[in-house]
């Protein structure tokens, strides 16, 4: 057993020596359509981690909690083109999964990282999965936070939850959808009521304000729709559940107890992935890094450590 442990440590050390760590700090990278903002933090040692935020069209402010993992590894947080601190855009030809996959790998190449752990949340889980499909050799593990691998099923769940908000808000949604007018104050109030129950319950106010101040509604509407429960965008028919058994890398799947995505649906997705670990984060809605901060970071930390060990043995 001692010899086996020593071989594992030597393999891990050799893997870590394979490339120099990227420089710490913030930067901007030119990609198709503009420049994306990124931040590299942490310390070299274990395999780096990249964070993929949700939306589409949002930003990475709410993923800051995972920078706590920087005491063991490099953590890369970035804003996808169009949102956050990255350049804005209204070019719909860039609002595609393929664009965001290329953008992500451009960042990896720019930072000189050969292989990294990929953590995606919400829309970011679609990006993480599609990145893995395109570049499996560059992914050390996958963490899917509140995954949306079956948008039609997610939409059905969201419509069920819609029936639990107040009657005036339900009526406002019916009117907006019937008239195709989504800027009415009553519809916006319905969105906020839904958010407070199923999207985030304990937001970090400063980061929430920054998220909405830098939100690109053009991307969100084009790919998702006018809200979390009215799905009209290009992702409406997205369903890759049949591909989940083809994932052959260490995988963690998490979901909030009151998540709009639904623990039952996410449990089924996790069960389709060979060897995946599944965790429900108590008391949390969709934005688990806010609602269950410490538990979420702890679960991801433990998983990444185990994935590092498995990869060391495999190498």
The bridge status of strand 34-42 relative to strand 46-52 is unpaired
What region, left, alpha or beta, does residue 180 occupy, with left being phi > 0 and alpha being psi -120 to 50 degrees? left
Over residues 68-95, the pLDDT tens digits come to: 999 999 999 999 999 999 999 999 999 9
Q: Is the pLDDT of residue 301 over 60?
A: yes
Over residues 190-234, the pLDDT tens digits come to: 999 999 999 999 999 999 999 999 999 999 999 999 999 999 999
Quick one: pLDDT at residue 6?
A: 39
Proportion of the chain above pLDDT 70, given as a percent: 94
Sequence-distant (≥ 6) Cβ neighbours of residue 125 within 8 angstroms:
52, 144, 145, 146, 147, 148, 149
Domains of the chain in sequence order: 2-150+240-314 (3.40.50.1820)
pLDDT mean over 23-42: 97
Sequence-distant (≥ 6) Cβ neighbours of residue 256 within 8 angstroms:
146, 263, 280, 281, 283, 284, 285, 286, 287, 288, 291, 292
Max mean pLDDT among 7-11, 17-21, 89-93 falls in 89-93
pLDDT mean over 108-137: 98
Q: What distance in Å separates the CA atoms of residue 184 and residue 177, rounded to the nearest whole number?
A: 11
DSSP state of 96: S
pTM of the model: 0.93
Quick one: pLDDT at residue 312?
A: 81
Q: Is the pLDDT of residue 15 over 60?
A: no
Quick one: pLDDT at residue 19?
A: 63
Catalytic amino acids?
Answer: 122, 259, 286
pLDDT mean over 98-109: 98
Proportion of the chain above pLDDT 90, given as a percent: 91
Question: Where are the strands (E) in the chain, listed by range?
Answer: 25-31, 34-42, 46-52, 73-78, 116-121, 139-145, 251-256, 277-281
Over residues 257-294, the pLDDT tens digits come to: 999 999 999 999 999 999 999 999 999 999 999 999 99
């Amino acid at each position: 057993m001692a010899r086996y442990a020593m071989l594992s440590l030597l393999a891990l050390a050799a893997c870590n020596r394979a490339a120099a760590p990227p420089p710490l700090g913030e930067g901007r990278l030119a990609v198709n359509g503009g420049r994306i903002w990124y931040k590299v933090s942490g310390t070299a040692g274990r395999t780096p981690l990249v964070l993929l935020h949700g939306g589409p069209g949002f930003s990475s402010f709410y993923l800051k909690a995972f920078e706590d993992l920087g005491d063991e590894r490099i953590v890369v947080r970035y804003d996808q083109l169009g949102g956050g601190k990255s350049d804005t855009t209204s070019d719909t030809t860039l609002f595609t999964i393929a664009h965001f996959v290329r953008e992500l790998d451009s960042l990896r190449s720019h930072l000189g990282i050969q292989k990294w752990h990929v953590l995606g949340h919400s829309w970011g889980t679609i990006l993480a999965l599609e990145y893995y499909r395109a570049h499996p050799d560059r992914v050390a593990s996958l963490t899917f936070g509140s995954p949306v691998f079956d948008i039609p099923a997610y939409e059905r769940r969201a419509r069920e939850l819609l029936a639990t908000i107040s009657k005036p808000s339900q009526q406002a949604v019916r009117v907006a959808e019937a008239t195709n007018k989504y800027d009415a104050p009553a519809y916006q109030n319905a969105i906020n009521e839904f958010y407070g129950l199923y999207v985030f319950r304990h937001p970090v106010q400063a980061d929430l304000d920054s998220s909405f101040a830098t939100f690109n509604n053009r991307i969100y509407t084009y790919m998702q729709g006018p809200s979390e429960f009215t799905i009209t965008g290009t992702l409406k028919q997205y369903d890759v559940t049949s591909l989940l058994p083809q994932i052959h890398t260490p995988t963690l799947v998490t979901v909030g107890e009151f998540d709009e995505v639904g623990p039952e649906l996410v449990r089924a997705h996790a069960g389709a992935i060979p060897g995946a670990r599944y965790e429900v984060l108590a008391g949390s809605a969709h934005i688990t890094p806010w609602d269950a901060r410490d538990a979420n970071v702890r679960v991801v930390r433990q998983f990444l450590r185990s994935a590092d060990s498995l990869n060391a043995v495999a190498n």
